[in-house]
Structure 1
Amino acid sequence: MLRASQILVRSIALAASAAVLWGCGQRGPLYLPGAPEASQRATLPETLSPVKAEPAAPATAAPPASVPR
């Protein structure tokens, strides 16, 4: 049989879990933003892989680093 402390702990854990699930998320209907400011926001693939592939700059001939002999 469950003791009073076990019942209390389980009740608190259940209430905390319900509060977390109830409090997350966006309120209101879902929509796709169409404002010009939204065009500058990151997309899902950009969010998952934040390293942007930029075109490589032309390599310039750099003098070799001096190596101690």
Structure 2
Amino acid sequence: MLRARQILVRTIPLALSVAAMGCGQRGPLYLPTEPAAAQRATLPETLNPAATRAPAPATPSTAPSSRP
């Protein structure tokens, strides 16, 4: 039984110190808005690769020309 107590005495402070350090993100969380971020996968798409994203609407600068 002494072995289990030693494990708990070592594990609990280790877990508390890791939790206190956090993830390393400083400052407020934000959603990126730059154009490169639009092509990145979202969390649901990462978890379920079969999930499809609706195609982005064509902008006038990228839409195919209907003129001959």
TM-score when scaled to structure 2? Answer: 0.52
**Cα displacement (A) at 1:40:** 1.2
Which amino acid in structure 1 is aligned with residue 17 of structure 2? A
TM-score when scaled to structure 1? Answer: 0.51
- Provide structure 2 residue ranges, at least 5 long, that are not aligned to the other structure: 53-68
Question: Residue in 2 aligned with 1:37?
Answer: 36
Identity of aligned residues (%): 42
Which amino acid in structure 1 is aligned with residue 46 of structure 2? T
Aligned-residue Cα RMSD (Å) equals 2.6
- For residues 5-20 of structure 1, what are the structure 2 equivalents within 5 Å? 6=5, 8-20=6-18
Question: Residue in 1 aligned with 2:46?
Answer: 47
- Paired residues in the alignment total 50
Task: Give the structure with higher Rg (CA).
Answer: 1
Relative contact order, CA 8 A, sep 6+: which one is greater?
2
Which amino acid in structure 2 is aligned with residue 16 of structure 1? L
